[in-house]
Chain A
Amino acid sequence: MNKISDDISKDLKDQPKFSSDLGEKDQDHHTFDVGEQSTLKKIQHFLHGNPTIVPVIILILSVIGFGFIAGGKFFSAFNLSLIVQQVTIVGILAAAQTLIILTAGIDLSVAAMMVLASVFMGKLSVEMGIPTLPAIAVGMISGVATGAFNGLLVTRLRLPPFIVTLGTWNIFFALVIFFTGSQSIRSSDIEINAPLLHFWGERINLGGFVFTYGAFLMIGIFVFLWFLLNKTAWGRHVYAIGDDKDAAELSGIRTDRMLVSIYAVAGLVVAIGAWVSIGRVGSVSPTSFYEGNLDSITAVVIGGTSLFGGRGTIIGSLFGALIVGVFSSGLSIAGLDVLWQRFALGCLIIIAVGIDQWIRKVSN
């Protein structure tokens, strides 16, 4: 027994005796040194604190670059307006997508949700003679409901968002075909029966620049979501959940309820996009925006939002969508084949995720 005690005392003696090891307490014993940093480290830290800087730089560089390559045509008021018009729908989808990706999720069903909402709006008002505003309201409800449905599957069944939305993408798409019988609702019918559905497609001319109302609405959505994410507790909780869901739960956030509300808000944004899309396209086509899901993810990723959640800004996604627009426009004006636009976009995605990974290493 004494032997055991001796062993224990010996073990304990080997442990550092803290007070004596450290000597005199210095005055600034609570300071925590950061240490010397190299320039690269400083850049890394700066980007880490300001993740939106990367897409802004890429946007500026690509605008300048295409200005040189494609010349004055690129900078024409007509072309710049066209870029903004073209990114409106993908921009709105990207706004919704950002909310989901910030929670470390992903939503493959946004475009199908949008088409489904636009089908409700068009069907009810054009073919069933319901007044346009209630029909739009039903479309909005459909957006919130389909979003919340995704959220409930993710939280109740504990399924990964990727799988849930891969499933609901197909389900929503099937519903669209079911409700429409694969028939488009023609633009001329909408114009006669429910012209309000075309409202966001109307144009306004500002000194040669032609903007649709929808473009302003898109900016409005981004500003609204920026306030929501940065100025409200709800917004901070979005980041907290994406960052570390368990920690958020222990901090007193009802994470499951929050997640459902985030998916529902994203669904509402998507439904607003549905209304705008009718104005942009003119008709309601069941097969439109088939690539909208992936385009929205592309815009979010290029916009500097991390696929691992908790890091990124909503405004970054707006820049991301604009970058995609500038690239497509610039490359086509420069006379390059569509395949090279896709090629360039692919490179951008990989570079964006690579930069994100590098920036994330700061925390280790």
Chain B
Amino acid sequence: MEPILVAKNLSKKYGKVVALESANLELYPGEVLGVIGDNGAGKSTLIKVLCGAVIPDSGEILLDGKPVTFTSPIEARTLGIETVYQNLALSPALSITDNMFLGREIRQKGFMGKFLKFLDKKAMADEARKRLSELGLLTIQNINQLVETLSGGQRQGVAVARATSFGTKVVIMDEPTAALGVKESRRVLELISEVRARGIPIILISHNMPHVFEVADRIHVHRLGTRLCVIDPKKYEMSDAVAFMTGAKEPPQS
């Protein structure tokens, strides 16, 4: 099977600090790839490069086998790489529907939409409802509810629904459970499984080992600016992963 997203020899320096040194990453269709690493390992730089927020000094990114370059998260998004940011990038005072279609609104057909630029609110609400129920978030009854009235887990749900709604090829999720309680985290992990079940591969960055081990198919361990190893969560213990990550144990030779 061909990987859908490949990063080859990515390097990035900030002055004399090497954040990435010939880092590689492969993401295969339909999988959840966990990315773990100690603080300062270059994990977040790697992710920022993949989602377009940071431009690498060298190296290349292949999407569907074709080399791609982007200079902003918006360009990466246009190519099908969606990111669910840790702060979610939602507008709390707008409704769920407004948020899901922010910057990609559907206009009415004919004169009203073309010249008066009126929005087709019904089409957007229907689509938003459909997307949310596909992800099992049926119980958000009022699709025009303001996002600020939602709980943390619900907001995460809206952000994920938005990220998976527009011909998305890859979803990057940055610490999706970091700000959530136990129950809400549980729901977000289920959400990740739902997205995978729909065939969209996910890169999951998290500090939370149990969460990564629960949902990831493969785990990419990042250390000192590069990929140390990729492990199968079924074959290794969490303590092994932490040991690789911190350098307490030699990684398996692959």
Chain A residues at the B interface, C-beta cutoff of 8 Å: 1, 4-5, 8-9, 12, 15-19, 21-22, 28-32, 45, 48-49, 231-234, 236-237, 239-240, 242-244, 246-248, 250-253, 310-311, 362-363
| Interface SS majority for chain A | helix
Structural contact, B89 and A30, CB atoms closer than 8 A: no
Structural contact, A18 and B185, CB atoms closer than 8 A: yes
Residues of B within 8 A of A30 (CB): 136-139, 187, 190
What's the Cα separation between A361 and B137 when bound, in Å? Answer: 26
Residue from the set B77, B146, B214 with the largest chain A CB neighbour count within 10 Å = B146
Q: Could you tell me the distance in whole angstroms from the C-beta of A109 to the nearest C-beta in chain B? A: 26
A-B CB contact pairs (8 Å), 7 listed: A1-B249, A12-B239, A17-B210, A239-B98, A244-B89, A244-B92, A251-B103
Residues of B within 8 A of A19 (CB): 214
| Cβ 8 A contact of A8, one of B118, B138, B140, B242 | B242
Structural contact, B146 and A240, CB atoms closer than 8 A: no
Residues of B within 8 A of A9 (CB): 237-239
What's the Cα separation between A247 and B83 when bound, in Å? Answer: 12
What's the Cα separation between A19 and B214 when bound, in Å? Answer: 10
Cβ-closest chain B residue relative to A45: B149
Residues of A within 8 A of B187 (CB): 29-30
What's the Cα separation between A293 and B183 when bound, in Å? Answer: 50
Q: Could you tell me the distance in whole angstroms from the C-beta of B163 to the nearest C-beta in chain A? A: 11
Residues of A within 8 A of B121 (CB): 231
Q: Could you tell me the distance in whole angstroms from the C-beta of B212 to the nearest C-beta in chain A? A: 12
What's the Cα separation between A16 and B249 when bound, in Å? Answer: 25
What's the Cα separation between A243 and B242 when bound, in Å? Answer: 40
In this complex, how many residues of chain B approach chain A with their Cβ under 8 Å: the count is 57
Q: Could you tell me the distance in whole angstroms from the C-beta of B187 to the nearest C-beta in chain A? A: 7
Q: Is the CB of B117 closer than 8 A to any CB of chain A?
A: yes
Residues of A within 8 A of B214 (CB): 18-19
Among all A-B residue pairs, the 5 with the closest Cβ atoms = A252-B103, A363-B148, A250-B89, A251-B102, A233-B105
Residues of A within 8 A of B200 (CB): none
What's the Cα separation between A253 and B77 when bound, in Å? Answer: 12
Q: Could you tell me the distance in whole angstroms from the C-beta of A275 to the nearest C-beta in chain B? A: 24
Residues of B within 8 A of A48 (CB): 146, 149
Q: Could you tell me the distance in whole angstroms from the C-beta of B98 to the nearest C-beta in chain A? A: 5
What's the Cα separation between A19 and B189 when bound, in Å? Answer: 11
Structural contact, B209 and A12, CB atoms closer than 8 A: yes
| Cβ 8 A contact of A243, one of B91, B116, B137, B189 | B91
Chain B residues at the A interface, C-beta cutoff of 8 Å: 73-74, 77, 83, 85, 87-94, 98-99, 102-105, 107, 116-119, 121, 136-140, 146, 148-151, 153-154, 182-183, 185-187, 189-190, 208-211, 214, 237-239, 242-243, 246, 248-249
Cβ-closest chain B residue relative to A18: B186
Structural contact, B210 and A15, CB atoms closer than 8 A: yes
Structural contact, B182 and A248, CB atoms closer than 8 A: no
Q: Could you tell me the distance in whole angstroms from the C-beta of A121 to the nearest C-beta in chain B? A: 29
Q: Could you tell me the distance in whole angstroms from the C-beta of A76 to the nearest C-beta in chain B? A: 41
What's the Cα separation between A311 and B190 when bound, in Å? Answer: 33
Residues of B within 8 A of A233 (CB): 105, 107, 117, 119
Structural contact, B119 and A236, CB atoms closer than 8 A: yes
Structural contact, A247 and B91, CB atoms closer than 8 A: yes
Cβ-closest chain B residue relative to A19: B214
| Cβ 8 A contact of A363, one of B92, B107, B139, B185 | B92
What's the Cα separation between A251 and B118 when bound, in Å? Answer: 20
Residues of B within 8 A of A311 (CB): 93
Given A12-B209, A32-B153, also A246-B89 (CB < 8 A): yes
Residues of A within 8 A of B119 (CB): 231-233, 236
Residues of A within 8 A of B105 (CB): 233, 236
Residues of B within 8 A of A234 (CB): 117
Other A-B pairs beyond A12-B210, A251-B99, 17, CB < 8 Å: A1-B249, A12-B242, A22-B183, A29-B186, A30-B136, A45-B149, A234-B117, A236-B102, A240-B98, A242-B93, A243-B94, A244-B90, A244-B92, A246-B89, A253-B102, A253-B103, A362-B149
Residue from the set B104, B116, B119, B151 with the largest chain A CB neighbour count within 10 Å = B119
Q: Could you tell me the distance in whole angstroms from the C-beta of B139 to the nearest C-beta in chain A? A: 4
Structural contact, B239 and A252, CB atoms closer than 8 A: no
Structural contact, B146 and A49, CB atoms closer than 8 A: yes
What's the Cα separation between A45 and B189 when bound, in Å? Answer: 30
| Cβ 8 A contact of A16, one of B74, B103, B182 | B182
| Cβ 8 A contact of B243, one of A8, A22, A246, A252 | A8
Structural contact, B239 and A244, CB atoms closer than 8 A: no
Residues of B within 8 A of A8 (CB): 238-239, 242-243, 248
Structural contact, A310 and B93, CB atoms closer than 8 A: yes
Structural contact, B117 and A236, CB atoms closer than 8 A: no
Q: Could you tell me the distance in whole angstroms from the C-beta of A98 to the nearest C-beta in chain B? A: 15
Structural contact, B90 and A247, CB atoms closer than 8 A: yes
What's the Cα separation between A22 and B214 when bound, in Å? Answer: 15
What's the Cα separation between A362 and B151 when bound, in Å? Answer: 12
What's the Cα separation between A99 and B119 when bound, in Å? Answer: 19
Cβ-closest chain B residue relative to A309: B93
Structural contact, A12 and B243, CB atoms closer than 8 A: no
Cβ-closest chain A residue relative to B245: A8
What's the Cα separation between A87 and B119 when bound, in Å? Answer: 32
Cβ-closest chain A residue relative to B90: A247
Cβ-closest chain B residue relative to A306: B93
